[in-house]
Structure 1
């Protein structure tokens, strides 16, 4: 039974220590700003420039990639964090020496990291990995049920946490502060927990370090899951605000939606009437300039709305009393709710355009082919079933990444996860080119 009396404490929630080691060097930057910098300059973050946000392999330079999306989310997240930081300070809830700026930095860092583990081709890539494992049940035979679900329900959120916490493909992550790591746990439960949809924030390989982080931060433990870190709601709100607005803007750029769509849908937000001169002036702008003005106004209003929802639900957030999948946007009765409604109304148009459908079918085929070529083989004639890996694949993935996996009861899981690490780190372009090479179409 979930307790109604437990309450999270900001003194613990804003812990600036790191899971692995802590530098004693003097630095003018706060520990959280150092997290921002580590993420910004990381290889994994740089690769987001060639990973799909919504529209794969797009040659239109105005369309968002995962990189531009993440940068925009981080900007909104920083504003949300600082606004809440000032609220906490005003009510004497902010522990010394933490400042509102530090709260902004924590949310900004988590926002930069929120998509850093996404596989190529966005959500289509996630689906391709899940579907491949569902159709290759022989692989599942060598895994315990809880480990098996990591692949059958594969999620980029968990890969982001894995990438950040140093247990992934490159073995040396960014060793973030506890506060940033905790804020990144958007779905703080394992893959086998049923929260209503296949979303989770950590694989079995990270279960122990996540539990240690949750304990340090004082996240409320409900047995099968933890309560969200309060700042996670701000990271999620920044993402929700940005992708709902930006996806619509990209759709007008690609001709999926009418170029006047944003003006017509959000005229009330702009306090415009179609009979007024000011409306005609907006309509006379180039559609990109007009959309930029509307976007800025929407983000500003949605940010204020999300902050107010956080303040209104503050006690429930601190007590972990909200439902696992509750969000600030979902709890809003203001502009965030309006954005959500508009987005749901055109979601089918956004995700089922002909070009996107064709490319995503190709993307799923590409990831399936790569998995076919590199995945372990399972010998079911032995008990327990034994795995083997093509020596050429060992060199392709990196011999050291395989050879350092302990040859214990978790060996099969470790090897399979290393191969999934390899695929998740690919950009759209690299995955496409590797697929061509595997088909013998280039070198």
Structure 2
């Protein structure tokens, strides 16, 4: 049975840099450079005004995509350090250290939501729905291949993140931000294209992680790292098993939103403190119950924060133990489920998630702005997709010319000419809109429609 090996999976090679095996500096490793490039990037800064769960929140306590990504990065680093110690004790990793695994994961965590459009999942769904339902969107798909059409009909923030990191950010560089291959692979949760998603029942194919425009870069990464084939067509691999570190990043992400979303909901008075404490208790009771310190905490807010951190520490240990237990299956591409479903606290976490889906994610503030987000995304796409296609087919109007004049240079072709390729012409519009913050999307929508929205 073919399996991946750590000697190939860990590399300092950078995407787009010929013969690169990044020179180590005593004070900053290759993967710390990845972290620094990400945290100083404009795309990462924009996450401060992108929806996590509660859009356009009126309180500065509730998490945005930025704070969520920083929290995931912190948890991923801790998990990575512990797994790194296991790897360094049991495998020949050359000059790679345990801390490198922690740094790779902390960097990948910064990138995991960087491609999400405004208004959270409502924004993602809104883009796909526009191309499925709008006559303007349907017309734009007519000249594209089936795979290109599926990229847009099933628009995916994970694929947009890969496009952003490998092309759109630092557009003049081959390889975009030129991150290390190991860091890039560690955030690719779904190593397949839009046509291959859901073809088999495997966690790696639930969604997709690259658009057709980035297929070549994606294949280069998986080939260089020796990632295992999951699905072949005409004797050619069309879907791959995940890089093993993806399981750890996914676990860090899921732990953060599982424990934190109920905390945010309490701060917005959507659920009671007692219910949140009870959720955490179902995890902590397995390990002997609440520590004595809890009795000395008088305020519910502080008690919840302490218990959330305490529960997180216990769950990190469970994740590391599960990864070590199932490592062989993971390396062979045979682990078909996410890691959190394999830990002792799986049922407790599933109950928290179930409650959140039934009560928090359908709460009034989430639904109100989610509905508005759909309307805004639809309006923006209708305006800008319609404008570029009118111009390209020489049917321009004064409005379409003004809309195109509004587009920044990077969302048009060289010398501000429109791309002849219909797929790239429209993909650049989704680049423009998915890169918007929530408030900027509202602002542009107001500008083109004359509608005033309170933010």
Given the alignment of the two structures, is residue 18 of structure 1 paired with residue 26 of structure 2, yes or no? no
Aligned equivalent of 1:217? 225
Aligned equivalent of 1:329? 340
Is the 8 Å Cα contact of residues 147 and 195 (structure 2) preserved in structure 1?
yes
Higher helix share: 2
Rounded Cα–Cα distance in structure 2 between residues aligned with 1:119 and 1:104: 28
The size of the alignment, in residue pairs, is: 429
SS at match of 1:360: helix
Instruction: Give deviations 1:56-78, integer Å, cap 9, x for gaps.
Output: 00011110000000000000001
Q: 1:98: Cα distance to partner? A: 0.2
Aligned equivalent of 1:161? 162
Matches within 5 A, 1:2-401: 5-21=1-17, 22=20, 27-28=25-26, 29-91=28-90, 93-135=91-133, 136-167=137-168, 170=171, 172=173, 173-195=176-198, 199-222=207-230, 223-271=237-285, 281=295, 285-323=298-336, 326-332=337-343, 334-376=344-386, 390-401=400-411
In structure 2, stretches of 5+ residues that fail to align are: 231-236
Q: 1:348: Cα distance to partner? A: 1.4
Q: 1:268: Cα distance to partner? A: 4.7
SS at match of 2:178: coil
In structure 1, stretches of 5+ residues that fail to align are: none
- More divergent stretch after superposition (136-145 vs 261-270): 261-270
- Go from structure 1 to structure 2 and tell me whether the alpha carbon gap of 1:400 and 1:299 turns closer, same or farther (over 3 Å shift): closer
Rounded Cα–Cα distance in structure 1 between residues aligned with 2:291 and 2:322: 35
Q: 1:363: Cα distance to partner? A: 1.0
Is the 8 Å Cα contact of residues 377 and 388 (structure 1) preserved in structure 2?
no
SS at match of 2:244: coil
Q: 1:394: Cα distance to partner? A: 3.0
Q: 1:279: Cα distance to partner? A: 9.6
- Go from structure 1 to structure 2 and tell me whether the alpha carbon gap of 1:272 and 1:19 turns closer, same or farther (over 3 Å shift): closer
TM-score by length of 1: 0.90
Is the 8 Å Cα contact of residues 148 and 423 (structure 2) preserved in structure 1?
yes
Q: 1:220: Cα distance to partner? A: 1.0
Rounded Cα–Cα distance in structure 2 between residues aligned with 1:278 and 1:30: 41
Instruction: Give deviations 1:382-432, integer Å, cap 9, x for gaps.
Output: xxx958773333332223541239999971111111100001110001001
Q: 1:140: Cα distance to partner? A: 1.3
Is the 8 Å Cα contact of residues 190 and 206 (structure 2) preserved in structure 1?
no
- Go from structure 1 to structure 2 and tell me whether the alpha carbon gap of 1:227 and 1:433 turns closer, same or farther (over 3 Å shift): same
Backbone CA RMSD of aligned residues: 2.9
Instruction: Give deviations 1:1-31, integer Å, cap 9, x for gaps.
Output: xxxx101111110111112124876633111
Rounded Cα–Cα distance in structure 1 between residues aligned with 2:328 and 2:10: 18
- More divergent stretch after superposition (62-71 vs 400-409): 400-409
Instruction: Give deviations 1:134-171, integer Å, cap 9, x for gaps.
Output: 11321210211000000100011111111111246956
Aligned equivalent of 1:428? 438
Is the 8 Å Cα contact of residues 402 and 418 (structure 1) preserved in structure 2?
yes
Rounded Cα–Cα distance in structure 2 between residues aligned with 1:413 and 1:14: 34
Rounded Cα–Cα distance in structure 2 between residues aligned with 1:300 and 1:218: 33
